[in-house]
Amino acid sequence: MHPAALAVEHLCPDIGGPRLRILITGGAGFLGVHLCKALLSRGNEVVAVDNFVTSSRNSIEQLTTSPDFTFIEGDVCANLPMEGEFDAIAHLACPASPNDYLRFPLETLATGSHGSEFVIQAAQKSSCRVVLASTSEVYGDPLQKPQREEYWGNVNPVGPRSVYDESKRYAEALFMAHRRTEKINTGIARIFNTYGPGLRPDDGRVVSRFIAQALRGEPLTVYGNGSQTRSFCYVTDLVEGFIRMLESNEPGPINLGNPDEISIIKLARMILTLTGSSSPLRFLPALEDDPAIRKPDIAKAKALLDWEPIVSLGEGLALTIAWQRDLFTRTTTAQTK
């Protein structure tokens, strides 16, 4: 838990206070599992929905031991049966790594449209707060640094990444339209690159890919010349910011991410040092529409949510490497039995 006080002005609802019933779509995903754990640890009842397209049952195994956790296997784009009402809803469902959303382009678009409509209707039925987990990808390949929420972005609407970018941009428009016309308490959190324990080694995102390659002694694959930058936020910091967004009445969009920027080539060398790996670097052609820079302006998050990340990249990478190393050890042991 973030050491700073949880008190935020205009809380709605106070998730750190009385026991609440909270719905999380995408609850078996990387962020979803961490959010479920955090909310359960605060004494809340959590209902999670996932269809396991980009996750697995193993990810929720520890959660199912809690009597306060309920899991519904299903697609948010379908008419899922939902019993009872909720005090808050977190809409995290959507393939988030390039590997996944390029593999499931139509499903990604459907989740941003039909899936978002479903959760908004659920929020309307319960008269509760609903927050969209949007993304820094709505800024596309930005021409502004750092990226502020007022920036409209530079997105290629027909490129291969557009299925994810436009899915989230549409979802943001949908959330705002329902807020304006039907007075639903919607919020938009724009999430920047997040990493930590639980991120699948084969996820395809750069941190998990580099760590997996380093631990296996394989070349670290760098697309382009490695000068492109990212800003990496440790998962517990991100979850704390998202919970504060759930607690607030802020419509957003509000950037949630770590403003410390690093180039991909420096990240690769940092992971090689932390893992003690002698893996070489292998440079591959740049990916189409791959953003050259990514650095959030988090002034709004500081002012409106009293939030900023506290875990340094070095500390977060060490924890992530330890988790992934342990996973490899357990997997190797199981395979040799």
Q: How many CB atoms lie within 10 A of CB 175?
A: 26
In the structure encoding, which two tokens stand for residue 276, read together?
A: 């003690």
What's the Cα-to-Cα distance from 76 to each of 47, 84, 195, 225, rounded to whole Å? 13, 17, 25, 39
> 59 near 73, Cβ under 8 Å?
no
Catalytic option among 164, 170, 195, 223: 164
Q: In sequence order, what E strands does the chain have?
A: 21-25, 45-50, 69-73, 88-91, 129-135, 186-191, 194-195, 220-223, 229-231, 233-234, 254-256, 261-263, 281-284
Does the annotation mark 164 as catalytic?
yes
| Selection from 73, 83, 91 nearest residue 134 by Cα | 91
Residues 6+ positions from 105 with CB-CB distance below 8 Å: 163
Token representation of residue 145: 């640094």
Q: Is 6 exposed, middle or buried (0-12, 13-18, 19+ CB in 10 A)?
A: middle
- Residue positions annotated with a catalytic role: 164
